[in-house]
């Protein structure tokens, strides 16, 4: 774990190294992904079956390609009542939050008499990728599927790897709650290629969203343009800005909530209290030993964790902006004052009683967020990722006469005579 202080002479150098540190998987997966994508494009279902047998150790023709809706419903009904209620609460809150993101059409006439506007429509089909393997995340099903449903997407296909043919029932229950249309027992880069190109069994989609490993992320990157994607996500991140009036064990737990995701996750604390910094570090070490995810959390904290002591909490904010973190907690007496200064963060959690983990499940805002400093230029998943805007305009003779000559002049200046003529003929 890195310990820094803004009072150290070498702070700028050391902090710059922290900002620029590359935490993505080191293996060069691009060539392997190109091979997989090309195979699925050219061979379709046969390639999917071969890759599934190789990576997930089961035969799709025996275990079944598609998981039927009756299994989703059975998984939902078999849940412990308290867990079923929690899933329903999360779905309702996520839907309510995203309903407010629906954009309004516009249709106005300006002073020149030109009718101008924009109309929003949902994409026809979306695909969501839900990881298998290390853990199963029903919350990711809700966060990806519900915004698509709110947007009005007609077809929603879900793909998920099923090692040895097995799927987590919580994922199926979440698919039932989120009203997914199809669930396919395929994963990896091959599943992304199947959604992008389409195969004999799986129809192509227009947008693909959802988290995955390095191979999944690379497949999304390579196929962007053929389909839309949410983002190319990297390892999880949390930055906490906290004063010494917090409980150290609370803040330690917040830091570990991201460290336990993956050995490449990053957890950083900024504080203006050196004693509090030491107390949090001790609490982290104590709590790691109590976690079932201790091995992963320890690797993440030792390799990528950092505690940074600043002269004031305000001094931390420009440093936070340089990190542009996925998650930012402001645990202090007046979080709004600090939030007003923040420019770059995927999602911000205000106050001592707003842990980042609440946002992962039931608060409402989406937990699919930009990582790797991409919050400088991108936002979290929203309804808009499943919609597109079409502009329109309408002129009559009077409005064309008002603005047409300027168009003719610009077209002639650009050396495009047909452009100029198409307007000039109507002016005559």
User: Could you report the per-residue pLDDT of 397-416, keeping only the tens digit for each?
Assistant: 999 999 999 999 999 999 99
How many whole angstroms separate alpha carbon 340 and alpha carbon 121? 33
Tokens representing 385?
A: 């990722």
Catalytically active residues, by annotation: 326-327
Was 419 annotated as part of a binding site?
yes
Domain check: are 194 and 285 in the same one? no
Q: Is 236 annotated to bind ligand?
A: yes
Residue 156, domain member (yes or no): yes
pLDDT at 371: 94
Residue 265 has pLDDT above 60, yes or no: yes
Burial of 341 (0-12, 13-18, 19+ CB in 10 A): middle
- Among 176, 199, 229, the domain-final residue is 229
Domain ends where: 208, 229, 250? 229
The CATH number assigned to the domain holding 206 equals 3.40.50.1980
Residue 344 annotated as lining a ligand binding site: no
pLDDT band at residue 194 under the 50/70/90 scheme: very high
Nearest Cα neighbor of 281 from 260, 267, 264, 263 is: 267
Same domain membership, residue 65 and residue 212: yes
Kindly indicate the confidence band of residue 26, based on its pLDDT and cuts at 50, 70 and 90.
low
The mean pLDDT value for 81-86 works out to 97
Q: For the chain, how many residues are written?
A: 428
State residue 216's pLDDT score.
94
Q: In this structure, is residue 204 part of a structural domain?
A: yes
pLDDT tens readout for residues 93-126: 999 999 999 999 999 999 999 999 999 999 999 9
The residue-averaged pLDDT of 188-211 equals 97
Q: How confident is the model at residue 233 (pLDDT cuts 50, 70, 90)?
A: confident
389 sits in which H/E element: strand 387-394
Which residues pair with residue 270 across a beta bridge? 241, 308
| 266 annotated as belonging to a binding site for a ligand | no
Which ranges constitute the DSSP H helices of 260-347? 274-288, 294-304, 313-323, 335-339
- In eight-state DSSP terms, residue 225 is T
Q: How far is 183 from 72, CA to CA, in rounded Å?
A: 9
Pairing of strands 327-331, 347-350: parallel
| 193 shares its domain with 269 | no
Nearest CA to 31 among 43, 39, 42? Answer: 39
Same domain for 180 and 242, yes or no, is no
Question: Does residue 19 fall inside a structural domain?
Answer: no
Q: Are strands 125-129 and 207-209 parallel, antiparallel or unpaired?
A: parallel
Specify the DSSP element, H or E, that contains 347.
Answer: strand 347-350
144 belongs to an annotated ligand binding site? no
How do strand 125-129 and strand 155-159 relate by DSSP bridges?
A: parallel
Has residue 117 been placed in a domain? no
* Whether residue 152 sits in one domain with residue 70: yes
- The pLDDT of residue 29 is above 90: no
**Residues 356 and 221 placed together within one structural domain of the fold:** no
15, part of any domain: no
Q: 251 and 126 share a domain?
A: no
Residue at 7 is within a domain: no
Can you give the pTM of this predicted structure?
0.93
Whether residues 221 and 241 fall in one domain: no
Q: Is 327 annotated as a binding residue?
A: yes
- Alpha helices of 100-234 — where are they, by DSSP H? 138-151, 169-178, 188-197, 214-223
Buried b (16+ CB within 10 A) or exposed e, 227-247: bbbbbbbbbbbbbbbbbeebe
Q: At what angle do helices 294-304 and 248-259 cross, to 10 degrees?
A: 100
Mean pLDDT of 367-379: 95
Query: What percentage of residues in the chain have a pLDDT greater than 90?
Result: 92
Range of the domain at 417: 395-427
What is the bridge-based pairing of β-strands 306-309 and 266-271?
Answer: parallel
129 in a known ligand binding site: yes
Per the structure, the count of domains in the chain is: 3
In this structure, the answer to whether residues 98 and 203 fall within a common structural domain is yes
Confidence band of 27 (pLDDT split at 50, 70, 90): low
Write down the pLDDT at residue 135: 61
Q: Which of 176, 198, 229 is the last residue of a domain?
A: 229
Residues 6+ apart with CB under 8 A from 189: 32, 33, 36, 37, 215, 216, 218, 219
> 62 and 201 in one domain?
yes
Residue 414 marked in a binding site: yes
Mean pLDDT of the chain: 95
Provide the token pair at 270.
């900024």
Provide the pLDDT for residue 133.
Answer: 57
pLDDT of 424 above 90: yes
pLDDT confidence of residue 23? 62
- Asked whether the predicted pLDDT for residue 59 surpasses 60, the reply is yes
Note whether 256 and 158 are same-domain residues.
no
What's the pLDDT score for residue 174? 97
In a domain, 415, yes or no: yes
The arithmetic mean of pLDDT across residues 49-71, rounded, is 96
In whole angstroms, how far apart are CA 327 and each of 4, 17, 385?
20, 20, 20
Residues 34 and 177 in one domain: yes
User: What long-range pairs does 344-350 form, CB within 8 A, spacing at least 24?
Assistant: 344/320, 344/373, 344/375, 344/376, 345/239, 345/320, 345/375, 346/370, 346/371, 346/375, 346/379, 346/380, 347/380
Q: Does 390 fall in a domain?
A: no
């Amino acid at each position: 774990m890195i310990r820094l202080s803004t009072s150290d002479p070498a702070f700028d150098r050391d902090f710059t190294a922290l900002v620029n540190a590359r935490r993505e998987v080191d293996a060069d997966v691009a060539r392997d992904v190109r091979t997989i994508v090309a195979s699925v494009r050219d061979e379709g279902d046969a390639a999917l079956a071969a890759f599934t047998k190789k990576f997930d150790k089961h035969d799709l023709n025996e275990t079944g390609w598609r998981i039927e809706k009756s299994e989703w419903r059975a998984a939902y009904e078999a849940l412990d009542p308290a867990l079923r209620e929690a899933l329903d609460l999360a779905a309702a809150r996520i839907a309510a939050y995203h309903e407010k993101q629906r954009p309004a059409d516009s249709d106005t006439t300006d002073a020149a008499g030109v009718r101008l506007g924009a109309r929003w429509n949902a994409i026809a089909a979306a695909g969501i990728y839900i990881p298998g393997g290390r853990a199963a995340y029903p919350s990711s099903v809700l966060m990806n599927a519900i915004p698509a449903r709110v947007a009005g997407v007609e077809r929603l296909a879900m793909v998920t790897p099923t090692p040895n043919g097995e799927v987590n029932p919580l994922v199926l229950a979440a698919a039932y709650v989120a009203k997914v249309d199809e669930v396919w027992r395929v994963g990896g880069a091959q599943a992304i290629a199947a959604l992008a190109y389409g195969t004999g069994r799986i129809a192509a989609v227009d947008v693909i969203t959802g988290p995955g490993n390095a191979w999944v992320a690379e497949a999304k990157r390579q196929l962007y343009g053929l389909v839309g994607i949410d983002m190319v996500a990297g390892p999880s991140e949390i930055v906490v800005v906290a004063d010494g009036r917090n409980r150290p064990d609370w803040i330690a737990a917040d830091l570990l909530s991201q460290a336990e995701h993956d050995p490449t996750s990053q957890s950083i604390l900024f504080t203006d209290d050196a004693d509090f910094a030491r107390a949090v570090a001790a609490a982290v070490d104590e709590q790691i030993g109590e976690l079932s995810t201790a091995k992963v959390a320890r690797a993440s904290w030792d390799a990528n964790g950092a505690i940074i002591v600043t002269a004031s909490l305000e001094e931390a904010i420009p440093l936070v902006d340089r990190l542009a973190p996925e998650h930012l907690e402001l645990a202090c007496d007046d979080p709004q004052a600090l939030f007003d200064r923040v420019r770059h963060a995927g999602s911000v959690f205000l106050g001592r009683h707003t842990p980042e983990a609440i946002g992962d499940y039931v608060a409402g805002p989406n937990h699919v967020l930009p990582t790797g400093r991409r919050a400088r230029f991108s936002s979290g998943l929203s309804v808009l990722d499943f919609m597109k805007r079409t502009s329109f305009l309408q002129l009559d003779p009077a409005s064309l006469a008002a603005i047409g000559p300027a168009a003719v002049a610009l077209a002639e200046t650009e050396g495009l005579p047909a452009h100029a003529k198409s307007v000039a003929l109507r002016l005559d």
